[in-house]
Amino acid sequence: MSTVFDCTDEETRSAGIQAAVGAAKAGRLIVTPTDTVYGIGCNAFDAEAVTDLLAAKHRGRDMPVPVLVGSWHSIDGLVLSVSAAARSLVEAFWPGSVSLVVEQAPSLAWDLGDTSGTVMLRMPLHPVAIEVLRAVGPMAVSSANVSGRPPAITCDEALEQLGDSVSVYLDGGRAPKGQPSTIVDITGASPRVLREGAVTTAEVAEVLDVDPASLVD
């Protein structure tokens, strides 16, 4: 049985965040608002919960789950090495709507799917998500929708698609951006924009001081 908490109301917001944190720590799934779209998430280090997340989305291991963090500094413990490009993008866009594909630290004891040694990281710009992340730690979070269907930009849309597979829903109103994050791959010799979303390729290029055309195939 799922529980929905109205996080636009101060009284129920605190209870909702407490319930979501408890659920995530207990290996269950939660839905939280972010600045881009709603996300379905769990403790990133709980492999069984990640499997449940993929099942809820009707998604295979060939589409590994991204990780959201609650602090700039979290990247240092999750990445093999932080390049100058990564540092520049983190400083410019976090918290915010840019996701970074990086080489993960080999010591990490998590299973996010078939990652081939990489992980996609983001720090969202949303107070509810940040509060949950800072209490739980890094969370495996994907868009709160069934694969192949549009990402949820309201809690009701997430609930309609995911139903009782999720333990706690945090309703923060309509997601501010209403579109997915921009994905930048920095694992290769030069950065590449894999998906343009809420941040434009031109904005990424300006931070990296490169020609926007060099960031796309």
Extract the tokens encoding 168.
């706690």
pLDDT value for 81: 87
Residues 6+ apart with CB under 8 A from 60: 54, 113
Cα 71 → chain centroid: 13
CATH of the domain at 192: 3.90.870.10
Which DSSP string corresponds to 61-96? Answer: TTSPPPEE-SSTTHHHHHBS---HHHHHHHHHHSSS
**Cβ 125 vs Cβ 69: under 8 Å:** no
Q: How many domains does the chain have?
A: 1
Residue pair 110/93 in contact by the 8 Å Cβ criterion: no
Q: Residue 31 gets which letter from DSSP?
A: E
CA neighbours closer than 13 Å in the CB half-sphere of residue 42: 23
pLDDT, one tens digit for every residue, the chain (217 residues)? 899 999 999 999 999 999 999 999 999 999 999 999 999 999 999 999 999 999 999 999 999 999 999 998 888 899 988 899 999 999 999 999 999 999 999 889 899 999 889 999 999 999 999 999 999 999 999 999 999 999 999 999 999 999 999 999 999 999 999 999 999 999 999 999 999 999 999 999 999 999 999 999 7
71, exposed or middle or buried, with CB in 10 Å at 0-12, 13-18, 19+? middle
Residue 65 backbone dihedrals phi, psi, to 5 degrees:
-90, 135
Where does residue 15 rank: exposed (0-12), middle (13-18), buried (19+ CB within 10 A)? middle
User: What is the pTM for the complete model shown?
Assistant: 0.96
DSSP state of 174: S
pLDDT at site 116: 87
Strands (E), the chain: 3-6, 30-32, 39-43, 67-68, 98-103, 118-122, 139-143, 168-171, 182-185, 192-195
Assign 101 to helix, strand or coil.
strand
Nearest to 162 by CA among 78, 57, 73: 57
Residues of the domain holding 110:
3-215
